[in-house]
Amino acid sequence: MEYSEIMVRYGELSTKGKNRKEFIRQLGQNIRNVLKPFPAVVVKAQRDRLHVVLNDQPAQPVMDALQQVFGIETFSPVVKLPKDASLADIQQTAKQMIKEQYQPGQTFKISTRRQNKNYPLNTYGIDDGVGSYILEAIPGIRVQMKHPDINLQIDVRLSGIYLSSITIPGALGLPVGTGGRATMMLSGGIDSPVAAYLAMKRGVKVDMIHFFSPPYTSQQALAKAKDLAAKLAAFGGTIDFIQVPFTKVQEEVKKRVPEGYLMTIQRRMMLRLAAAITIDRHCNGVFTGESLGQVASQTLESMRAINDVTSLPVLRPLISLDKTEIIKIAREIDTYDLSIMPFEDCCTIFTPPAPKTKPDLEKTREFEKLVDVDGLMQEALAGIEVTKINVGDDYLNSQEDVFAELL
């Protein structure tokens, strides 16, 4: 079927009266962004619907891209006929559309809406004229008014006559950019990319902060984290990837702090740095991929001891998810295979064999006095590098030659 446009129905934003205009503008911009590879396509964001005019582009790749945009409830590929198209024209297009979908034994229904009152046939005339034609043209097909297998919608509007028979669920959520800005602590693991995805789903624009510790962690580990950001860019547009050198902090903490508190104090340093970057970038919160009770650093006592370093909101979208649930989403958003590639993370390397699962807040504060918190912070912040990452960027493979030389 040669579709002429994709009709997009808005999601949750339709309930937000006051901000509606801004949401539609942002959604339009986000859709234009993901459709940049299709320059012929035109996006028209209107009050009640958004139209993606295909201009002879095939519909499927455009629909694949739309599937990842938050703020879309459903969308349908549509054929547009001229506003004065005859009943015979409508019948032909309807037949072709239904034939493409029809499986033996299925039922159908025609649902016409008429906004253009000048069209010579009323809704009943069109429903009946098209319905009886389909019954004759497709042997075996039956009409069913309630829950038909195929619901062919005919929209008679002033701008044209629109036919559609497929409704595809969108990604739901809110358009990225309408929920403010935050940072995300992105490791190379399974959890934090999923947490980033869920943050974006609520409309938040996220900047990724990644701590790395050369030479204990490799260039591949860094490239892997960047590639995860590139996967996430499919949902939120270009991502600022902020890499923070963490070697000196970890070495100092390891040298001076009792083993049981190593992990807690390392995490406090991470969150302190993340908070400083968050404020510097005018963001309003820090997201992490923690979930309650997964590992030693993720008990309530640990979270309290780590949270102590900032008054910014620390948001944990995965807090009550099981690992299996997290893995399911990771697979759906295509980050899982990358996440399980075996490159070391700076946290795992410096994790003591028996970290305190219930660190005492007062003791944590005392032990931390053994390190030069301000000096280490300044040094780490001075070494930050920021990369703009886009969907499709591939750091692991583009560096393969460099790695080969190193081997």
Q: Which is nearer to ligand ATP, 30 or 187 (CB)?
A: 187
Contact pick of 5, 155, 191, 393 for ligand ATP (by CB under 6 A): 191
Residue 267 assigned to a binding site: yes
Residue of closest CB approach to ligand ATP:
189
Q: Does 190 bind ligand ATP (CB under 6 A)?
A: yes
> Does position 347 bind ligand ATP by CB under 6 A?
yes
Residue pair 30/176 in contact (Cβ under 8 Å)? The answer is yes
Q: Which of 85, 295, 370, 384 binds ligand ATP (CB under 6 A)?
A: 295
If the CB atoms of residues 175 and 289 are measured against ligand ATP, the closer one turns out to be 289
Site of tokens 């800005």: 181
**How far is 132 from 128, CA to CA, in rounded Å?**
6
| 186 annotated to a ligand binding site | yes
Query: Are 10 and 19 in contact, with CB atoms under 8 Å apart?
Result: no
DSSP 21-63: HHHHHHHHHHHHHHTTT-TT-EEEE-SSEEEEE-TT--HHHHH
* DSSP H helices in 237-333: 247-256, 259-280, 300-307, 323-332
Site for ligand ATP in 195-234 (CB under 6 A): 209-211
Q: Tell me whether residue 45 or residue 186 sits nearer to ligand ATP (CB atom).
A: 186
Specify the residue for token string 């036919």.
163
* Span near ligand ATP by CB under 6 A; candidates 77-85, 148-156, 292-300, 362-370: 292-300
Q: How many whole angstroms separate alpha carbon 359 and alpha carbon 352?
A: 14
Among 71, 77, 236, 289, binds ligand ATP (CB under 6 A): 289
Q: How far is the CB of 321 from ligand ATP (least distance, A)?
A: 11
DSSP string, 265-291: HHHHHHHHHHHHHHHHTT---EE----
Contact pick of 5, 155, 252, 290 for ligand ATP (by CB under 6 A): 290
- Closer to ligand ATP at the Cβ: 137 or 295? 295
Residue 210 among known ligand-binding residues: yes
Tokens for 79? 């054929």
The residue among 210 and 231 lying less far from ligand ATP, judged by its C-beta, is 210
**Least distance (Å) from ligand ATP to the CB of residue 277?**
11
Task: Give the gyration radius of the chain's Cα atoms.
Answer: 27
Distance between CA atoms of residues 332 and 335, nearest Å: 8
Query: What's the CA gap between 209 and 126, in Å, rounded?
Result: 57
185 is in an annotated binding site: yes
Q: Nearest distance from residue 268's CB to ligand ATP, in Å?
A: 12
What residues are designated binding site for ATP? 185-186, 210-211, 267, 289, 298
Task: Using CB under 6 A, list all residues that contact ligand ATP.
Answer: 185-187, 189-192, 209-211, 288-290, 294-295, 297, 345-347
